[in-house]
Amino acid sequence: MSGLSAGHRPDVRRDVRRDVRCDCWRDRRRDAWWLLAGLLVLIAWEASGGDLWLGLRYGDATGFAWRDAWLTSSLLHNGGRWLAWVLLALLVWDVTRTRPSGPPRRERLYWLSATVAALVLVPTIKRFTSTSCPWDLLPFGGTVPYVPHWWLRALDGGPGHCFPSGHAVAAFAFFGVYFLWRPYRPVLALAALAAVWLLGGVFGWAQMARGAHFMSHTLWSAWACWAVCSAAAWGWTLQPVRLAAPARLLWSRRLERAKGIEPSLTPA
């Protein structure tokens, strides 16, 4: 035991749990700061009037040239829906697998549930909003006036139910993949995060070019999905730490600090 009696053996298991908890809370605080920063960016965008300005780059009084284009309508809109179903099916399949390493099944199931929650949240919000789509508005050949969606007590008189963007959620709901893999494979997690942002941005652009949504509709959807996943991450952190789950090889870190000690440790 390198001169250490069993009675004085450092509690490596306890120290690992403490390090895991510190790493988790550090990540949670960072997630919250990103959430706040995103909210400030959204408020600034709303105040700038950028929605209407950017919408007029793609549409005019005759409508939107990209509305029924194959690229935006068939590929990125209809095809995007199918892609979301495929990705969700892959997550379900992954939950059924037994992995020799990486997130345990319980954690994969938890983040699958968070993804489904994000997929459900935004379409539910849309059902209760009165904001109409750009292609329904007078500046773009429609019949109702443009009313910013943050004028909560004002109605534009149109069909409504167009805010936030439901289609962008087909990508942004999968922020959960980043949160799932971040403690285990940080590089893979960042790659997943970049892919989700890229796909969500492309979906958002397609819907904006078609006249289905303004840019802010997509940005609010992204923010809502990040909020759901951040809340889910906090919820997971509050659960008892399982040494089989979270740790970026913290075993080796602690064992290096306690050289010469051979603790008997088994994952909880």
Residue 89's nearest CA partner among 115, 117, 110 is 115
pLDDT at 111: 97
Which pLDDT score is estimated for 138?
Answer: 96
Summarize pLDDT for 110-148 with one digit per residue, the tens.
999 999 999 999 999 999 999 999 999 999 999 999 988
**pLDDT class of 223 with cuts at 50, 70, 90:** very high
Residues facing residue 59 across a β-bridge: 64
The pLDDT tens digits for 89-119 are: 999 999 999 888 889 999 999 999 999 999 9
In this predicted structure, the answer to whether residue 248 has a pLDDT above a threshold of 70 is no
Predicted TM-score (pTM) of the model is 0.81
Residue that is written with structure tokens 């829906």 in the block: 81
Average pLDDT value over all residues in the chain: 85
